[in-house]
Homo-oligomer: A and B are copies of this chain.
Amino acid sequence: MQTGFPLPPGSIIGIFGSGQLGRMLALAAARLGLKTHIFAPTGGDSPAAQVAHSYMQADYNDLNAVKAFADGCDVLTYEFENIPAETALEAARLKPLYPSASCLNVAQDRLTEKKFISEKAGVPVAPFETVENIFDLKRALRRLGGSGVLKTRRFGYDGKGQAILQNETDIENAWEALGAHPVIVEAFIPFIREVSIVCARGVDGRMTAYPLVENVHKNHILHTSTAPAPRDLGHAKTLAQSIMEALDYVGVMATEFFELEDGSLLVNEIAPRVHNSGHWTQDAGCTDQFEQHIRAVAGWPLGSTDPKHGVVMTNLIGEDVNDWQNLAREDNTFLHIYGKKEARAGRKMAHVNRVVP
């Protein structure tokens, strides 16, 4: 094991989580001669463990395993934000953890996140209120203009843990489905586009930003990201980087925005990790988001983020992946398949990056 930043080739980067993001991080690390060690409750046939140098199969709550894992790594990171706070704290006691446990803490909880972004970073978010019961919810909705979105504070992704509230029936159903969890209600934002930006911040505080990307969702799951977004508003970068400064962030972070009619941006949420809306960077002719994250957490200089051409990323969800033969035949199309066995509905199986010369 090596010590001291930047970590030299041969050093071991520990990654919590073994999904496709971990897989692509491991592949990027390997390009740089860095090794990856995966921690996840899933086994060796999970996407990241298949390609990593080694893996440890254990529950995230098994702090002894976390300790043994951290002992064997030079730096620690994660591919998803739902690892328990205790696990992150224990890991960070033993080895540098990037992004830090406090970044994770902020991003794990919608309430903490929105308060941090608006109050600490001074960046606008959609109006929101916490609600404890259905009466609170009805009162809050009236204040927010009559409609809104109920969201669980934790563990939401791909539209899970969310419900749109437009009438009395919606409210009853949503509360029945989600009211047992801590929730917040957000104003319904009449946005014209969803855009996001992927930025990185190094251990030395230097920052980079990829161009703004326009995202289209289908069934609440990201369908396409078009890079660069047809209209780059410029201030997305400033807003995202203000949040990263306030968090003393290290690594790649994605910031999702609602763009309003007047061109203003409200932060929807942040992801303290590499992000699906940054997959286009793999085939854009610049350092990709996975290598950038590895560079950041290993204390390396950040790479260049200027794409050489446009890219449209399309997710292959569930059985979409069965079209791989046709996609492999397309010119200027790059396939990335995640090594998952079952093409279940709603499951992210692969993506394609189509170059737009």
Question: Do B329 and A301 have beta carbons less than 8 Å apart?
Answer: yes
Number of interface residues of A (CB under 8 A): 43
Q: Is there a chain B Cβ closer than 8 Å to A175's Cβ?
A: no
Question: Do A325 and B6 have beta carbons less than 8 Å apart?
Answer: yes
Q: Tell which of A300, A331, A339 has the most Cβ of chain B within 10 Å.
A: A339
**A interface residue numbers (CB < 8 A to B):** 6, 8-10, 23, 26-27, 30-35, 50-51, 53, 283, 285, 287, 295, 300-301, 303-304, 308-309, 321, 324-325, 328-329, 331-332, 334-339, 341, 350, 355, 357
Question: Do A9 and B304 have beta carbons less than 8 Å apart?
Answer: no
Question: Do B308 and A30 have beta carbons less than 8 Å apart?
Answer: no
Which of B50, B331, B338 sits near A304, CB closer than 8 Å? B331
Each complex incorporates copies of this chain amounting to 2
Closest Cβ of chain B to A133, distance in Å, is 47
A332: B residues at CB distance < 8 A: 304
Q: A27-B27, A51-B51 are in contact. List 4 more A-B contacts (CB 8 A).
A: A9-B337, A31-B337, A295-B328, A300-B328
- On whether A10 and B339 interact (CB within 8 A), knowing A50-B30, A328-B300, the answer reads yes
Question: Do A30 and B331 have beta carbons less than 8 Å apart?
Answer: no
Question: Do A30 and B51 have beta carbons less than 8 Å apart?
Answer: yes
A27: B residues at CB distance < 8 A: 27, 30-31, 51
In the A-B complex, list the 6 residue pairs whose CB atoms are closest, starting with the nearest: A33-B337, A301-B329, A30-B51, A304-B331, A9-B337, A33-B339
Which of B31, B335, B341, B350 sits near A336, CB closer than 8 Å? B31
A334: B residues at CB distance < 8 A: 287
Question: Do A285 and B355 have beta carbons less than 8 Å apart?
Answer: yes
Question: Do B9 and A339 have beta carbons less than 8 Å apart?
Answer: yes
Closest Cβ of chain B to A314, distance in Å, is 16
